[in-house]
Amino acid sequence: MVQQTPSAIARLKDSLRTTLPDFQSLSTSSDVPPFPTTIDRDRYFDTFKSFPENNDVKSCMECASRELLYDIVTDFDLEFSLEPFIQLYQFFDLILTLSELEISDPQLPFALIEETLDTQPIDNCKRIFSYLEARIERLTVGVDGTKGKGIILLRLCNELLRRLSKSEDTVFCGRIFVFLTKSFPLSERSGVNLRGEFHVENKTTFDERRSQLAGNQPDHFSPSLRDNDSSEAALAADACNRLYAVLWSTQHEFAEPIRLFQKEILDNFKESLDTVIKAFRSSIDEYGHNAPVVASDTRRSHKRKWDGEVKHDELDSYNPKYLTSRELFDLEVCTFHRLNRRPFSNDLCCLGPRPSVPETHTSSVSHRN
Protein backbone atom coordinates (compact mmCIF):
# COMPACT_ATOMS: atom_id res chain seq x y z
CA MET A 1 0.00 0.00 0.00
CA VAL A 2 1.46 3.34 -1.07
CA GLN A 3 1.74 5.78 1.81
CA GLN A 4 2.28 9.49 2.27
CA THR A 5 3.81 9.94 5.72
CA PRO A 6 4.18 13.43 7.17
CA SER A 7 7.87 12.81 7.73
CA ALA A 8 8.44 11.99 4.07
CA ILE A 9 6.58 15.11 2.96
CA ALA A 10 8.55 17.22 5.43
CA ARG A 11 11.84 15.82 4.13
CA LEU A 12 10.87 16.60 0.56
CA LYS A 13 9.78 20.10 1.52
CA ASP A 14 13.13 20.79 3.19
CA SER A 15 14.98 19.45 0.16
CA LEU A 16 12.95 21.66 -2.15
CA ARG A 17 13.64 24.71 0.00
CA THR A 18 17.40 24.08 0.07
CA THR A 19 17.42 23.55 -3.69
CA LEU A 20 15.77 26.88 -4.54
CA PRO A 21 19.01 28.96 -4.44
CA ASP A 22 20.43 26.81 -7.24
CA PHE A 23 17.81 28.30 -9.55
CA GLN A 24 18.76 31.88 -8.78
CA SER A 25 19.82 33.65 -11.96
CA LEU A 26 22.58 36.24 -12.07
CA SER A 27 20.49 38.37 -14.43
CA THR A 28 18.36 41.10 -12.85
CA SER A 29 17.48 42.96 -16.04
CA SER A 30 13.91 41.64 -16.19
CA ASP A 31 11.13 40.62 -13.86
CA VAL A 32 11.50 36.97 -14.89
CA PRO A 33 15.18 35.95 -14.95
CA PRO A 34 16.27 33.54 -17.68
CA PHE A 35 16.33 29.89 -16.79
CA PRO A 36 19.73 28.85 -15.36
CA THR A 37 21.83 26.85 -17.80
CA THR A 38 24.18 25.27 -15.25
CA ILE A 39 21.69 23.03 -13.45
CA ASP A 40 23.00 19.53 -12.68
CA ARG A 41 19.81 17.64 -13.39
CA ASP A 42 21.34 14.24 -12.71
CA ARG A 43 22.16 15.31 -9.17
CA TYR A 44 18.58 16.40 -8.53
CA PHE A 45 17.28 13.20 -10.05
CA ASP A 46 19.42 11.10 -7.69
CA THR A 47 18.56 13.29 -4.68
CA PHE A 48 14.78 13.25 -5.02
CA LYS A 49 14.50 9.71 -6.37
CA SER A 50 16.32 8.29 -3.36
CA PHE A 51 13.44 9.03 -0.98
CA PRO A 52 10.92 8.64 0.49
CA GLU A 53 11.07 4.88 0.89
CA ASN A 54 7.83 2.93 0.66
CA ASN A 55 6.00 6.05 -0.52
CA ASP A 56 4.65 7.36 -3.78
CA VAL A 57 7.30 9.93 -4.76
CA LYS A 58 5.03 11.96 -7.05
CA SER A 59 2.22 12.19 -4.51
CA CYS A 60 4.60 13.22 -1.75
CA MET A 61 6.24 15.72 -4.09
CA GLU A 62 2.86 17.29 -4.84
CA CYS A 63 2.04 17.71 -1.15
CA ALA A 64 5.50 19.05 -0.30
CA SER A 65 5.53 21.52 -3.19
CA ARG A 66 2.10 22.86 -2.26
CA GLU A 67 3.18 23.46 1.32
CA LEU A 68 6.30 25.28 0.14
CA LEU A 69 4.25 27.32 -2.33
CA TYR A 70 1.91 28.47 0.44
CA ASP A 71 4.91 29.53 2.51
CA ILE A 72 6.24 31.62 -0.38
CA VAL A 73 2.88 33.22 -1.20
CA THR A 74 2.30 34.28 2.39
CA ASP A 75 5.45 36.42 2.16
CA PHE A 76 3.84 38.64 -0.48
CA ASP A 77 3.33 42.18 0.84
CA LEU A 78 1.14 45.04 -0.27
CA GLU A 79 4.10 46.99 -1.66
CA PHE A 80 4.47 44.54 -4.55
CA SER A 81 8.24 44.27 -4.20
CA LEU A 82 10.04 42.13 -6.73
CA GLU A 83 11.88 39.85 -4.30
CA PRO A 84 8.95 37.52 -3.41
CA PHE A 85 8.15 37.10 -7.09
CA ILE A 86 11.74 36.16 -7.91
CA GLN A 87 11.56 33.46 -5.26
CA LEU A 88 8.26 32.30 -6.73
CA TYR A 89 9.79 32.12 -10.21
CA GLN A 90 12.66 30.03 -8.83
CA PHE A 91 10.15 27.69 -7.21
CA PHE A 92 8.24 27.26 -10.48
CA ASP A 93 11.52 26.58 -12.32
CA LEU A 94 12.38 23.90 -9.78
CA ILE A 95 9.01 22.18 -10.10
CA LEU A 96 9.20 22.44 -13.88
CA THR A 97 12.62 20.77 -13.85
CA LEU A 98 11.37 17.97 -11.59
CA SER A 99 8.40 17.38 -13.89
CA GLU A 100 10.74 17.16 -16.88
CA LEU A 101 12.77 14.57 -14.95
CA GLU A 102 9.49 12.69 -14.32
CA ILE A 103 10.01 12.99 -10.57
CA SER A 104 6.78 14.98 -10.28
CA ASP A 105 3.60 14.84 -12.32
CA PRO A 106 3.72 16.78 -15.64
CA GLN A 107 0.56 18.63 -14.62
CA LEU A 108 1.97 19.80 -11.29
CA PRO A 109 3.61 23.08 -12.51
CA PHE A 110 0.35 24.17 -14.14
CA ALA A 111 -1.74 23.18 -11.14
CA LEU A 112 0.49 25.19 -8.80
CA ILE A 113 0.47 28.22 -11.10
CA GLU A 114 -3.33 28.00 -11.33
CA GLU A 115 -3.69 27.90 -7.54
CA THR A 116 -1.35 30.86 -7.18
CA LEU A 117 -3.29 32.95 -9.70
CA ASP A 118 -6.58 32.12 -7.98
CA THR A 119 -5.32 33.53 -4.68
CA GLN A 120 -3.73 36.75 -5.96
CA PRO A 121 -5.09 40.16 -7.00
CA ILE A 122 -4.89 41.24 -10.62
CA ASP A 123 -1.69 43.26 -10.20
CA ASN A 124 0.11 40.20 -8.85
CA CYS A 125 -1.40 38.01 -11.56
CA LYS A 126 0.17 40.22 -14.21
CA ARG A 127 3.63 39.53 -12.81
CA ILE A 128 2.97 35.84 -12.33
CA PHE A 129 1.69 35.57 -15.89
CA SER A 130 5.03 37.00 -17.05
CA TYR A 131 6.54 33.72 -15.94
CA LEU A 132 4.26 31.80 -18.30
CA GLU A 133 5.27 34.08 -21.15
CA ALA A 134 8.98 33.69 -20.37
CA ARG A 135 8.83 29.88 -20.12
CA ILE A 136 6.29 29.22 -22.86
CA GLU A 137 8.59 27.01 -24.94
CA ARG A 138 9.26 24.62 -22.07
CA LEU A 139 5.79 24.71 -20.55
CA THR A 140 3.97 23.88 -23.78
CA VAL A 141 6.04 20.85 -24.82
CA GLY A 142 3.54 18.16 -25.83
CA VAL A 143 0.58 20.25 -24.71
CA ASP A 144 -2.86 19.01 -25.78
CA GLY A 145 -5.96 21.09 -25.21
CA THR A 146 -8.12 18.00 -24.64
CA LYS A 147 -6.19 16.37 -21.82
CA GLY A 148 -3.55 16.72 -19.14
CA LYS A 149 -1.75 20.00 -18.67
CA GLY A 150 -3.43 21.50 -21.73
CA ILE A 151 -6.80 21.48 -19.96
CA ILE A 152 -5.31 23.19 -16.90
CA LEU A 153 -3.61 25.80 -19.08
CA LEU A 154 -6.86 26.62 -20.88
CA ARG A 155 -8.76 26.73 -17.61
CA LEU A 156 -6.39 29.11 -15.84
CA CYS A 157 -6.28 31.46 -18.84
CA ASN A 158 -10.07 31.49 -19.19
CA GLU A 159 -10.47 32.09 -15.47
CA LEU A 160 -8.09 35.04 -15.68
CA LEU A 161 -10.02 36.48 -18.61
CA ARG A 162 -13.26 36.12 -16.66
CA ARG A 163 -11.82 38.16 -13.78
CA LEU A 164 -10.43 40.96 -15.95
CA SER A 165 -12.20 44.11 -17.01
CA LYS A 166 -12.28 44.38 -20.80
CA SER A 167 -12.06 48.16 -20.64
CA GLU A 168 -9.45 48.57 -17.89
CA ASP A 169 -7.28 45.47 -18.41
CA THR A 170 -7.23 45.40 -22.20
CA VAL A 171 -3.46 44.97 -22.48
CA PHE A 172 -3.44 42.06 -20.05
CA CYS A 173 -6.31 40.41 -21.92
CA GLY A 174 -4.31 40.78 -25.11
CA ARG A 175 -1.28 39.15 -23.48
CA ILE A 176 -3.39 36.16 -22.49
CA PHE A 177 -4.84 35.76 -25.98
CA VAL A 178 -1.38 36.01 -27.56
CA PHE A 179 -0.10 33.40 -25.12
CA LEU A 180 -2.94 31.03 -26.01
CA THR A 181 -2.30 31.61 -29.71
CA LYS A 182 1.35 30.65 -29.29
CA SER A 183 0.52 27.64 -27.10
CA PHE A 184 -2.14 25.93 -29.20
CA PRO A 185 -2.57 25.38 -32.96
CA LEU A 186 -5.26 27.17 -34.90
CA SER A 187 -7.15 23.88 -35.19
CA GLU A 188 -7.55 23.59 -31.41
CA ARG A 189 -11.26 22.97 -30.74
CA SER A 190 -11.39 25.41 -27.84
CA GLY A 191 -10.40 28.23 -30.18
CA VAL A 192 -12.61 27.31 -33.14
CA ASN A 193 -16.11 28.68 -33.59
CA LEU A 194 -17.61 25.31 -34.52
CA ARG A 195 -21.22 26.54 -34.55
CA GLY A 196 -20.52 29.78 -36.39
CA GLU A 197 -21.94 31.85 -33.54
CA PHE A 198 -21.50 35.61 -33.22
CA HIS A 199 -21.12 37.74 -30.13
CA VAL A 200 -24.43 39.51 -30.59
CA GLU A 201 -24.66 40.38 -26.89
CA ASN A 202 -21.89 42.97 -27.34
CA LYS A 203 -24.16 45.68 -28.69
CA THR A 204 -23.11 49.21 -29.56
CA THR A 205 -25.77 51.59 -28.30
CA PHE A 206 -26.03 55.04 -29.83
CA ASP A 207 -28.57 57.79 -30.49
CA GLU A 208 -30.70 56.51 -33.38
CA ARG A 209 -33.32 59.25 -33.26
CA ARG A 210 -32.11 60.93 -36.44
CA SER A 211 -30.66 57.90 -38.21
CA GLN A 212 -33.37 57.86 -40.88
CA LEU A 213 -33.02 61.59 -41.49
CA ALA A 214 -29.30 61.20 -41.85
CA GLY A 215 -29.77 58.42 -44.36
CA ASN A 216 -32.05 60.59 -46.53
CA GLN A 217 -29.78 63.64 -46.55
CA PRO A 218 -27.45 64.30 -49.49
CA ASP A 219 -23.80 63.34 -49.26
CA HIS A 220 -22.18 66.27 -47.44
CA PHE A 221 -18.73 64.95 -48.12
CA SER A 222 -18.88 65.98 -51.77
CA PRO A 223 -16.38 68.80 -52.55
CA SER A 224 -18.90 70.58 -54.78
CA LEU A 225 -21.43 70.83 -52.00
CA ARG A 226 -18.74 71.95 -49.61
CA ASP A 227 -17.82 74.81 -51.96
CA ASN A 228 -21.40 75.90 -52.53
CA ASP A 229 -22.47 75.94 -48.92
CA SER A 230 -22.35 79.44 -47.47
CA SER A 231 -22.09 78.30 -43.87
CA GLU A 232 -19.10 76.07 -43.22
CA ALA A 233 -20.08 75.54 -39.59
CA ALA A 234 -23.58 74.39 -40.53
CA LEU A 235 -22.17 72.06 -43.18
CA ALA A 236 -19.72 70.58 -40.69
CA ALA A 237 -22.48 70.01 -38.15
CA ASP A 238 -24.70 68.28 -40.72
CA ALA A 239 -21.79 66.14 -41.87
CA CYS A 240 -21.06 65.18 -38.28
CA ASN A 241 -24.67 64.14 -37.65
CA ARG A 242 -24.76 62.11 -40.84
CA LEU A 243 -21.45 60.38 -40.18
CA TYR A 244 -22.43 59.66 -36.58
CA ALA A 245 -25.60 57.80 -37.51
CA VAL A 246 -24.11 56.00 -40.49
CA LEU A 247 -20.89 54.91 -38.80
CA TRP A 248 -22.41 53.47 -35.64
CA SER A 249 -25.26 51.80 -37.53
CA THR A 250 -22.73 49.60 -39.36
CA GLN A 251 -21.84 47.96 -36.04
CA HIS A 252 -25.04 45.90 -36.22
CA GLU A 253 -23.77 44.10 -39.31
CA PHE A 254 -20.22 43.74 -37.98
CA ALA A 255 -21.58 42.09 -34.83
CA GLU A 256 -23.92 39.77 -36.76
CA PRO A 257 -22.77 39.38 -40.39
CA ILE A 258 -25.47 36.81 -41.11
CA ARG A 259 -27.89 39.74 -41.40
CA LEU A 260 -26.23 40.62 -44.70
CA PHE A 261 -28.00 37.69 -46.39
CA GLN A 262 -31.08 39.93 -46.45
CA LYS A 263 -30.93 42.03 -49.61
CA GLU A 264 -32.38 45.19 -48.08
CA ILE A 265 -29.91 45.14 -45.19
CA LEU A 266 -27.04 44.41 -47.56
CA ASP A 267 -27.93 47.37 -49.79
CA ASN A 268 -28.16 49.71 -46.81
CA PHE A 269 -24.86 48.41 -45.49
CA LYS A 270 -23.11 49.06 -48.81
CA GLU A 271 -24.50 52.58 -48.90
CA SER A 272 -23.33 53.22 -45.34
CA LEU A 273 -19.86 51.89 -46.12
CA ASP A 274 -19.62 54.15 -49.14
CA THR A 275 -20.37 57.16 -46.94
CA VAL A 276 -17.89 56.13 -44.25
CA ILE A 277 -15.09 55.44 -46.73
CA LYS A 278 -15.63 58.81 -48.37
CA ALA A 279 -15.35 60.41 -44.95
CA PHE A 280 -12.11 58.53 -44.34
CA ARG A 281 -10.71 59.73 -47.65
CA SER A 282 -11.59 63.34 -46.92
CA SER A 283 -9.81 63.23 -43.56
CA ILE A 284 -6.27 62.79 -44.91
CA ASP A 285 -4.11 65.91 -44.99
CA GLU A 286 -1.09 66.67 -47.09
CA TYR A 287 1.19 64.59 -44.85
CA GLY A 288 -0.89 61.47 -45.30
CA HIS A 289 -2.26 61.66 -41.76
CA ASN A 290 -5.75 62.30 -40.48
CA ALA A 291 -7.18 65.75 -40.61
CA PRO A 292 -10.22 66.82 -38.59
CA VAL A 293 -13.50 66.19 -40.39
CA VAL A 294 -15.66 68.56 -38.37
CA ALA A 295 -15.17 71.52 -36.07
CA SER A 296 -17.75 73.51 -34.16
CA ASP A 297 -15.71 76.69 -34.09
CA THR A 298 -12.33 78.06 -35.02
CA ARG A 299 -10.85 77.69 -31.55
CA ARG A 300 -11.78 74.02 -31.35
CA SER A 301 -10.42 73.33 -34.82
CA HIS A 302 -7.06 74.78 -33.79
CA LYS A 303 -6.98 72.49 -30.78
CA ARG A 304 -7.59 69.48 -32.97
CA LYS A 305 -4.88 70.12 -35.52
CA TRP A 306 -2.45 67.29 -35.95
CA ASP A 307 1.24 67.90 -36.47
CA GLY A 308 3.17 66.27 -39.25
CA GLU A 309 4.96 64.05 -36.77
CA VAL A 310 2.86 61.70 -34.70
CA LYS A 311 3.85 60.97 -31.14
CA HIS A 312 3.82 57.30 -30.34
CA ASP A 313 2.24 57.91 -26.94
CA GLU A 314 -0.83 59.44 -28.59
CA LEU A 315 -1.42 56.29 -30.60
CA ASP A 316 -1.38 54.14 -27.47
CA SER A 317 -3.76 56.25 -25.42
CA TYR A 318 -7.10 55.35 -26.97
CA ASN A 319 -10.02 53.69 -25.21
CA PRO A 320 -10.90 50.25 -26.64
CA LYS A 321 -14.61 50.99 -26.23
CA TYR A 322 -15.60 54.37 -27.64
CA LEU A 323 -18.31 56.48 -26.09
CA THR A 324 -21.18 56.81 -28.53
CA SER A 325 -22.81 60.00 -27.31
CA ARG A 326 -23.80 62.29 -30.18
CA GLU A 327 -22.48 65.31 -28.29
CA LEU A 328 -19.03 63.72 -27.98
CA PHE A 329 -18.76 62.46 -31.53
CA ASP A 330 -17.20 65.59 -33.04
CA LEU A 331 -14.56 65.49 -30.29
CA GLU A 332 -13.79 61.82 -30.90
CA VAL A 333 -13.82 61.87 -34.66
CA CYS A 334 -10.20 63.00 -35.09
CA THR A 335 -8.68 60.26 -32.99
CA PHE A 336 -11.25 57.78 -34.26
CA HIS A 337 -10.20 58.36 -37.85
CA ARG A 338 -6.57 58.30 -36.86
CA LEU A 339 -6.65 55.03 -34.95
CA ASN A 340 -9.55 53.08 -36.42
CA ARG A 341 -9.34 53.46 -40.19
CA ARG A 342 -7.10 50.42 -40.60
CA PRO A 343 -8.97 48.19 -38.07
CA PHE A 344 -12.21 49.22 -39.79
CA SER A 345 -10.73 48.08 -43.11
CA ASN A 346 -9.64 44.78 -41.56
CA ASP A 347 -13.20 44.15 -40.41
CA LEU A 348 -14.41 44.80 -43.94
CA CYS A 349 -11.96 42.24 -45.30
CA CYS A 350 -13.66 39.61 -43.14
CA LEU A 351 -16.99 40.34 -44.83
CA GLY A 352 -15.89 40.51 -48.45
CA PRO A 353 -13.39 41.94 -50.94
CA ARG A 354 -10.90 44.46 -49.67
CA PRO A 355 -12.31 48.01 -49.78
CA SER A 356 -10.39 50.85 -51.34
CA VAL A 357 -9.50 52.67 -48.14
CA PRO A 358 -6.53 55.05 -48.06
CA GLU A 359 -3.42 53.77 -46.33
CA THR A 360 -1.78 55.73 -43.55
CA HIS A 361 1.64 55.76 -41.96
CA THR A 362 0.19 55.04 -38.55
CA SER A 363 -0.27 51.61 -37.06
CA SER A 364 -2.76 50.40 -34.52
CA VAL A 365 -4.12 47.27 -32.93
CA SER A 366 -7.50 46.13 -34.18
CA HIS A 367 -10.33 46.33 -31.73
CA ARG A 368 -14.09 46.35 -32.08
CA ASN A 369 -16.84 48.29 -30.41
Q: Which of 147, 124, 143 is nearest to 135 (CA)?
A: 143
Q: How far apart are CA 112 and CA 108, in angstroms?
A: 6
Q: Is the dihedral angle over the CA atoms 83, 84, 87, 92 positive or is it negative?
A: negative
Provide the H-helix boundaries in the chain: 6-19, 41-49, 57-73, 82-100, 108-118, 122-134, 136-139, 149-163, 170-183, 211-216, 223-228, 232-249, 251-255, 263-282, 298-303, 312-315, 326-351
Q: What per-residue confidence (pLDDT) applies to 334?
A: 67
Q: What per-residue confidence (pLDDT) applies to 28?
A: 42
Q: What per-residue confidence (pLDDT) applies to 306?
A: 41
Cβ atoms of 78 and 121 closer than 8 Å: no
Q: Which of 205, 158, 204 is nearest to 183 (CA)?
A: 158
Q: How far apart are CA 299 and CA 141, in angstroms?
A: 60
Q: What per-residue confidence (pLDDT) applies to 163?
A: 94
Q: How far apart are CA 179 and CA 188, in angstroms?
A: 14
Burial class (CB in 10 A: 0-12, 13-18, 19+), 220: buried
Cβ atoms of 276 and 348 closer than 8 Å: no
**Cα 222–345–167 angle (5° rounding)?**
110
Pick out the chain residues at pLDDT < 70.
Answer: 1-5, 25-55, 76-81, 209-236, 283-322, 332-344, 350-369
Tens-place pLDDT, residues 41-82: 666 666 666 665 555 777 888 898 899 999 888 876 655 567
Q: Quick one: angle between helices 57-73 and 82-100, nearest 10?
A: 170
Write down the pTM of the prediction.
Answer: 0.61
Phi/psi at 123 (nearest 5 deg)? -60, -40
